[in-house]
Homo-oligomer: A and B are copies of this chain.
């Protein structure tokens, strides 16, 4: 098996990509924002969110305290940016694999399996969620717009059956969120996510035999490796999934 490394995770690029306010999009602003985000992540891992203040974050990022408020209004907001960062990293890792697949059903399978795998075994993500104190919806799944276009492509190719594509996407999102909740409650058998993928493929109109074959066939491996700042090295997660 050949490990496909994730795209370079330059924090400035991530910050720029994650940021939809054009006012933030000068390279310097993107860099400052990225270092605030990286500092927050580091401190949350080191001390937990409760013992991390905005002052700690700016000190760690090497900027004046007031600078924080040019980018974020609350501590919660910068922690949400860390989550967004993780999400972009996940999307970029699986994109590597997706880009080499042709069959829309295979693409959906690989994507679902990748996210379920992250949800079950990415200890860093789980640890960050636990330490971050964030309580909002912290879904770990493909972005809605991407899932929507995956389904659309499958329907156009005659591979999927869905009258209302938006609704199919929303249902899949609901299923994935539900499964993630079961995972975090420790209520899921280890092979259950494969069964879930098979259900979703059948739901999308694939015959059971095809759904089963797709779910069981080994997929191109993904090597996931997160960007490391110079300050951290212990929390790295690397592995393959198939």
How many chain A residues sit at the interface, stated as a range, is 20 to 34
Report, nearest first, the 9 A-B pairs whose CB atoms are least far apart: A174-B178, A203-B203, A199-B203, A167-B192, A202-B203, A202-B202, A205-B208, A161-B208, A174-B175
A186 CB → nearest B CB, Å: 13
> Which B residues touch A205, using CB under 8 A?
202, 208
> Which B residues touch A203, using CB under 8 A?
199-200, 202-203
Across the interface, do A170 and B178 meet the contact criterion of CB distance under 8 Å? yes
Q: Is A182 an interface residue (CB 8 A)?
A: yes
A237–B187 alpha-carbon span in the complex (Å): 39
A111–B26 alpha-carbon span in the complex (Å): 56
A161 CB → nearest B CB, Å: 6
Q: Is A168 an interface residue (CB 8 A)?
A: yes
How many subunits of this chain does the assembly comprise?
2
A181–B153 alpha-carbon span in the complex (Å): 27
* A:164-186 near B, CB below 8 Å: 164, 167-168, 170-171, 173-175, 177-179, 181-182
A195–B205 alpha-carbon span in the complex (Å): 12
> Which B residues touch A195, using CB under 8 A?
163-164, 167
> Which B residues touch A187, using CB under 8 A?
170
A residues lining the B interface (CB < 8 Å): 161, 163-164, 167-168, 170-171, 173-175, 177-179, 181-182, 187-189, 192, 195-196, 199-200, 202-203, 205, 207-208
Across the interface, do A164 and B177 meet the contact criterion of CB distance under 8 Å? no
> Which B residues touch A182, using CB under 8 A?
170
> Which B residues touch A202, using CB under 8 A?
161, 202-203, 205
Q: List 15 A-B contacts (CB under 8 A).
A: A161-B202, A167-B188, A167-B189, A167-B192, A168-B199, A170-B178, A170-B182, A170-B187, A171-B178, A174-B179, A175-B175, A175-B178, A177-B178, A202-B202, A203-B203
Known contacts A175-B175, A178-B177, A205-B202; decide if A189 and B164 are in contact (CB<8 Å). yes
